[in-house]
Amino acid sequence: MHSRMRRPRNRPLCTLMLASVMALGASLNPASGMTSVDAQIAAMSLSQKLGQLLMVGFRGTVYQDSESLQQAVEQAQVGGVILFDRDGERGQYGRNIRGAEQLAQLTRTMQAHSAVPLWIAIDEEGGRVSRLHPRHGFSRKLSAQALGQQSVQATAEQAQRIAQELQQVGVNMNFAPVVDVASNPNNPVIVQLQRSFGSDPLAVTAHARRAVQVYREHGVVAVLKHFPGHGSSQGDSHHEFVDVSKSWSESELLPYQIMIDAGEAEAIMSAHLVHQRWDSEHPATLSRTLIQGLLRDELRFDGLVVSDDLEMAAISKRYPLQEAMERAIDAGVDVLLIANNGVFDPNIALRARGLLEASVQAGRLSEAQVDAAVRRNLLLKHRFGLL
């Protein structure tokens, strides 16, 4: 990496640690030096900690009628769930969302049954990627591309409307904004779907920063995506292996660098893209060089890293689920997203947790790695008032 991509390293370690604890709002026990989050982790069993690393999709619009959701929340004790309006396997709308009142009741009930407050996540970008759709009684939202052609204030106004709708229905995490730079006009998954604010990384950053600020004001975690940048790719990682080694440029990191340095990046989603400059074999989600090396060590991001869906073809066609989860955690990922919306598995949460337990018992994952990921989850939950 060029020196301009590095963050300052000259602040005393004690200052950094104190600032981190204060910023995250975790109370500190002066006698032990242990935060309340550390104490909570110490009291958790391995299976409970592993559950916190999972975010799964489910079928159902009423908690009491959804066995897969009850199993995920009460038995697997997952850290989060993801909501969809459309069932991918059945090709039908109404998978989890039928209206504001119904969705608010669903999220309230699942939180009431969860031992640890849940991340309740959604893809609400606007434009073509909108789960809170007018068909369910929600407002219509412009695409990022349309907003990028307007002022940053227009983005702020739409973010305000989205954040209010999310807050009203109990959603506390939005997989938005997209900070991919539209460097390839023929890109099929970002640019052609109008999901990028534009081709200027500084303009993309300006719009994204304003959206993140608005979400934060409403208690919604914004997840920047898709690291290290999907806007130059020729392919779609939903359907195939994607290599961006020849098309990617360092300017695609600028939104991340600027927002991390400004303290405006709480969570980042990894992309299933291979860049041979860092890792000739594994996509970013499974690459320690890209997540731990580039994102955490070089860009100095110490927040939450969420994987893109591990059932996307770029991963699932090349790695069994257990290996994919092992590699993701080893790479530095904190939330393992399993959308469960292609081929539905009602037992996915318990199955995934069981595979992770076997990985720890076999020594392929350490409990220290698990604890680090759980800690980043709980610290952010504490910061956003969930704990």
Residue-wise pLDDT tens digits, 335-385: 999 999 999 999 999 999 999 999 999 999 999 999 999 999 999 999 999
Question: Exposed/middle/buried for 9, CB within 10 Å: 0-12, 13-18, 19+?
Answer: exposed
Share of the chain above pLDDT 90, in %: 88
Residue-wise pLDDT tens digits, 180-219: 999 999 999 999 999 999 999 999 999 999 999 999 999 9
Share of the chain above pLDDT 70, in %: 90
At 26 the pLDDT is: 61
Q: What is the sign of the dihedral through the CA atoms of 205, 207, 210 and 214?
A: negative
At 237 the pLDDT is: 66
Superfamily of domain 26-39+48-383: Glycoside hydrolase, family 3, N-terminal domain (3.20.20.300)
Pairing label, strands 86-87, 173-174: unpaired
Residue 305 has pLDDT above 60, yes or no: yes
Domain boundaries, the chain: 26-39+48-383
Q: What is the pTM of this model?
A: 0.91
Residue-wise pLDDT tens digits, 94-118: 999 999 999 999 999 999 999 999 9
When the pLDDT of each residue in the chain is averaged and rounded to a whole number, the result is 92
Residue-wise pLDDT tens digits, 232-289: 998 676 867 789 999 999 999 999 999 999 999 999 999 999 999 999 999 999 999 9
Q: Which residues are catalytic?
A: 238, 308
Residue 127 has pLDDT above 70, yes or no: yes
The Cα angle at residue 227 between residues 359 and 332, in degrees rounded to 5: 30
